[in-house]
Amino acid sequence: MTAKLRRTTSCLQFSAKQEPPSLEPGTFLRFQFYAASETPCDSSSRRGVVVTAEILRCFQPFTMSQVMVVRILTPTHYLEGEYVLKLYDKRLMATLREGDKILEWSSKLEQAFRKFTFSDEYPDHCLKLKHCFEIGDGYDEDEDEWDEARKETKQYLLCNDMYEHELECYQRCKELQWADLPGLLGRIELYETYHSKHCPSPDGSHFPMPYPGIVPGLLLQYIPNAFSLQDLYEAKPPPPAPKEALQYIVEEAIRIINIMMSKDILNTDVQPRNSLIRWDPVLNRWKVILIDFGHCYFRNEGESERDWRENQANQDEEGAIGYLMQTLLGEHRGGGFKYEKTEYSKQLSWDFMSEDGPRI
């Protein structure tokens, strides 16, 4: 991280390349940590503390976010040991760029984007994009004519949206954390540059959106020795869990999905790979833990119950796991799971998914 800030009368200028951090085992990261409200910490940690961590393992390839296991090197209150650090750095989001056919990140592209953030057009462009995200298509009719700076702005906002949506999910599901979801220790901010007390970190208060020089992230519970639902049908013999356990393992994932649905959360990325499984010696059984909520959306204020339920029916979150696992386990493991819709899912199908259209 070699960028240096130079204050001018008009804006912040960058006198060096804003290269993304080197994320690989052995790399040291220094970030600002803000504890989640439910964690056992004193009031001082809620103002943010500087934490240094070493990357132990990276879950690659990096797609929509950058996930790694880190070890805290400067114990801060209760923070000690190994955790999962999840960053949302647009520069490293290969899948997001490929999907939108955006140029690979470069310092030249970043300079153009940063320059655009200080233009009079930037706030209106951000609001226009936000509106596209809210109505669900995420596409503007003039998008094909945008220059690279405007396209990069979209990547920046999409990246920040995923961070905010995942954080919101954890906040709505506090009672599920440390059991059905990983525990959220808090949020973090990774700065492009380190700052002394004589040169404080920029607060970005003049930006209509979060300051571009800060990479947001989450510090989460690390769950070792876990595998995914996907491994139940893809793993080479011997399988990670016995066949007689498959029924209740998949049903457990569906149970958690339905609890999250009851909290006005719509997950558009329900997939077997986003469900972890580990052996719980206390319960003496396999335990399922759901992860990855950057593609979740929430019921809008004023959205009717009928319209929200229709969205749930069209998404069919539990079916995305139930039908797929029934098919793939049948093909690769000779069965072991039979999907039975929950009563709520049956009612959604009856109300909205008939061949003749919605019944209500």
Please give the full DSSP string across 8-37, using - where no structure is assigned. -SS-EEESS--PPP--STT-EEEEEEEE-T
The answer to whether 13 and 102 are in contact (CB under 8 A) is no
Peptide bond into 40 cis (omega under 30): no
Q: Residues 193, 277: one domain?
A: no
Q: Domain check: are 257 and 159 in the same one?
A: no
**Residues 249, 183 within the same domain:** no
Angle at 271 between CA 270 and CA 273, to 5 degrees: 135
3-state secondary structure of 118: coil
pLDDT tens digits, residue range 10-46?
333 443 456 677 799 999 999 999 998 644 444 444 5
End position of a domain, from candidates 189, 221, 253: 221
Q: Per the domain annotation, does 358 fall within a domain?
A: no
For residue 58, pLDDT beyond 80: yes
pLDDT beyond 60 at 256 = yes
Helix axes of 107-117 and 121-134: crossing angle, nearest 10 degrees:
100
The structure tokens listed for 309 are 């339920």
Q: How far apart are CA 336 and CA 326, in angstroms?
A: 8
Note down the domain range covering 113: 5-221
Q: Are residues 282 and 332 in the same domain?
A: yes
Number of domains in the chain: 2
Closest C-alpha among 165, 37, 151 to residue 104:
151
On the question of pLDDT at 196 being above 60, the answer is no
Q: Are residues 182 and 257 in the same domain?
A: no
